Every structure is written in C-alpha cells, then in structure tokens.
Chain A
Amino acid sequence: MSAHDPSAGFEELAMPLFDSLYNFAHWLTQNRDEAEDLVQETYAKALKGFGTFQPGTNFRAWIYRILRNTFLTSRTGLAASRTVPLEPEDDQEQPLAASTETPESILLREAGQQQVQAALERVPVIYREVLLLCDVEEMSYQEIADTLAVPIGTVMSRLYRARKALRAALAGKMREARHA
C-alpha cells in the first residue's frame, strides 16, 4: 500500500540537532531574529530535500551545510563574506606554532567567559564557523570539510588562522579591559 515515504526519519535525525543548529546560526548571524529565520529556513529546505539525502552518510554535516549555505546567501552572510580578510588559503600549509604568542594560560586565567565570547565575536565569520564546528560541535576535520565543502587541508589551515585570530582578539580584549 504505502509508497516510499521520503520524510520518514527526518524528525528523528533533525530535531536532536535543533539546539546546536540554533547556537551555530546565532553565532553566524549575531541576531536572534535572523538566527530563527535561518534555522527555520534550514529545516524547511532540509525537509524538502530529505529525499535526496543518502542514508548512511553524515546527516549532521548535510544539515549544517544547508544552514551554512543558506546563511551565505542571506543579506548578513553576504555582508560578512565581504568583510573577510582574504588571506591565501594554502591547502598544503601545515599549522605552525608562533613562539612569540602571548601565553593562553595567562590570557585565559585572566579572561572570563564573556571576554572569550566577545573575542569570538570579533573573529571573522569564515574562521568563527570553523572554530565552532571543531571546538563546540566537536566535528571531525572530515565532517567540517563536508560541511564547508572544502578540502581537509583547508580546514586545517583555517583552524590555524582561526585560533590565531581568536588569540589576537582575546589579547585585544584583555588590553581594552586593562585600560578601561
């Protein structure tokens, strides 16, 4: 009697990711209303396109990619992409530690969570998203690569730059706090 139901299982796969998707969307948009619109549109698109999702592949990367692509085509996303510093992304580049960095242990000891959040807000979206996917969502490099549709090497170099940018932003916040 029943034909294949293309929406079967969507709710079970998608709703457990709701909180994480919303958090990610809010970090991208920096606005509650826009984040809600983004998540709502993501769910609508994902449900509509669920028939094209291949069972056994990574649903989380799939729906995060929908959210991110939707964001990139939004007004805020387009504006954010124009403000990204266009450093060359060498996929073969290996992250190197900067020996002259301010020690995070000192920074983080002094910085409260709000200051880390404020520093994270300052990180350009292209780096912020990779930090969130890696450190908050605990995605593997491969998942991040699938979500962002970039090679793993690009994920690694973006992560390196993202952490460097976060340290710099955090150091800036600390300096501001000291001089306030």
Chain B
Amino acid sequence: MPDAWQPKIDPYLDSELSADEMRGMDAHLRECPSCASDALRRLQLKRATRLAGQRYAPSAQFRSRIEKQVAKKSHAVRRWAWVPALVAPVLLLAAVVTVGRWYESYRSQQVLAELADLHVADLASPTPVDVVSSDRHTVKPWFQGKLPFTFDLPELTGTGYTLVGGRVAYLQHEPGAHLLFDVRAHHISVFIFRDTPDIERGFPARDSRGRVLSFNVESWTHGGLRYFAFSDANPEAVEGLCSLLKQAGA
C-alpha cells in the first residue's frame, strides 16, 4: 500500500527534492522495504533509459559541416563587425547610383519615345514635311533662320536613298531639323539638334544603336550636334544613311 513517501520516489531519484526531503527519503528507504524495492526498480529503469537513450551519434561529416557553419557565420560577424558603420553610406551611394542610372535610362527612353512620336506623327500627317524637295541645296537653306545651327547633307544620287524634305521639330523645347528620307518603300526620319546640356542629360550616350518601339534607331554626335535616325527599315538601311550623313558632316 502506497505511503506518503512513494510519490516522492521519482523526484528523489531525479534529485529534485530539497535537502531535507532527500535526507528524510534516505531514512525512509532504510526502514521501508516496499518503498526501497520500488525505488530500486525505478532506478533500474532510469539507468536503462539513460543507456538506451544515448543511441545516436552524428557523423563526422555532419559535425564538420555544423562546425564550419557556426565558425563561418560567427567569424563573419566578427570580421565584418565594422561593416554596419560603413554599409549605410555605401548602400545609400549604391541606391543613388542605381536610381541615377535608372533615371538616366528612363530619360533616354523618354527622349527616344518623344522622337518616335514625332516620326510617327509626321508620317501620319498629310504634310509630313514643310519643305518638299529631294535637293539638298533646297532643303538645307530652308532651315536658315529657323534653327540656331546648320548642318551638311550628303549627295544621295545613286545611293538608293532619296531626300523627301524637312521641317522644324522640337525636342525638350529645343528646335531642330526633322529630315525625311526614303529608301525603297521605307521612310527614315533624321533628327538633328544642338547637343545642349539638357539633351545630353536626357540622352547621355554619345553613339548608340538599337530598337525603340520596334523602330531601328541610331544616334551619334558630331560637331556639337546630336543626330537621331528612326525607321522601320532594316538596321543596315538605317546604318547606310547614317554613314552618308556622318561623311557629309566630317
């Protein structure tokens, strides 16, 4: 029959009794064979559990992996403990550069989109050019007094390109020449503006070639002027006209 000490046998074996209770239990077990036998059985089970429970050992590879993981992270923190002091300005600088680049790209795309609009709008107009002539000696003088700069046009005879004419166009409030050329059944718009700081900021690339809204686009600078060529003709056709214009301006 269980006595008052029996519920304390497990805590006794687990060393969870107070010092006084431990001494009391020691004394009781010497006098009570039933509790002593019960305590012995429980102690045997506890020891058996302890031995059986120490069953699994980690592999050397796993131990090495964890050691490296802990050492690496721990040392990384120590080695780079000074980083937080510097990381904020660096991140800020990176953010500024990233935003700056993004904004530069954004503005370039804006410039090209604006020119593409001009190209499309003029072609859609019943009067895409204000001076209609295939003669460069007629078209070029037409711009006199209309633009704060002048430019040279190449002789196109026998090149496959035809000068259609031109008109004044505006980019970022800056007047420029919009020249229209034909090559086979395609139109090529060539825009010429002064390479002002505003336009340079808007389109910092000195020379570039690519596609915008599926138009083939080429841009270059020469003699303080910025040239943009737009067309749905193939890149080679655009490049050929650009080469002629570059030679004329050289």
Residue positions of A touching B, CB distance < 8 A: 1-3, 5-8, 10-11, 14-15, 18-19, 22-23, 26-27, 32, 35-36, 39-40, 43-44, 47, 94-97, 99, 103-105, 108, 111, 113, 116-117, 120, 131-132, 134-136, 138, 140-141, 156, 159-160, 163, 166-167
- Does the CB pair B63–A18 fall under 8 Å? yes
A27 CA to B50 CA, complexed, in Å? 13
Known interface pairs A10-B74, A44-B69, A47-B73; A160-B50 also in contact (CB < 8 Å): no
Contacts between chains A and B (CB distance < 8 A), count: 131
CB atoms of B48 and A136 under 8 A apart: no
Determine if B71 and A11 form an interchain contact, defined as CB atoms under 8 angstroms apart: yes
Instruction: Please give the residue numbers on chain B whose beta carbons come within 8 Å of chain A beta carbons, in ascending order.
Output: 1-2, 6-7, 9-11, 14-16, 38, 40-42, 44-46, 48-58, 62-63, 65-67, 69-71, 73-74, 77-78, 81-82, 84-85
Q: Chain A residues near B84 (CB, 8 Å)?
A: 3
Inter-chain contact B45/A163, CB cutoff 8 Å: yes
Q: Is the interface of A mostly helix, strand, loop or mixed?
A: helix
Known: A23-B57, A97-B7. A120 touches B78 (CB 8 A): no
With contacts A6-B77, A11-B74 known, is A163 near B10, CB below 8 A?
A: yes
| Chain B residues whose CB sits within 8 angstroms of the CB of A18 once the complex forms | 58, 63, 66
Q: Which of B15, B38, B49, B62 touches A131 (beta carbons < 8 Å)?
A: B49
Q: Which residue of chain B has its CB nearest to the CB of A159?
A: B10
Choose one: B16, B41, B52, B69; the contact of A141 (CB below 8 Å). B16
How far, in whole Å, are A23 and B48 apart by their CA atoms in the complex?
16
Bound complex: CA of A36 vs CA of B63, how far in Å?
10
Question: Could you jot down 9 A-B contacts, CB within 8 Å?
Answer: A2-B81, A3-B82, A23-B56, A40-B65, A47-B73, A104-B44, A140-B14, A140-B16, A159-B10
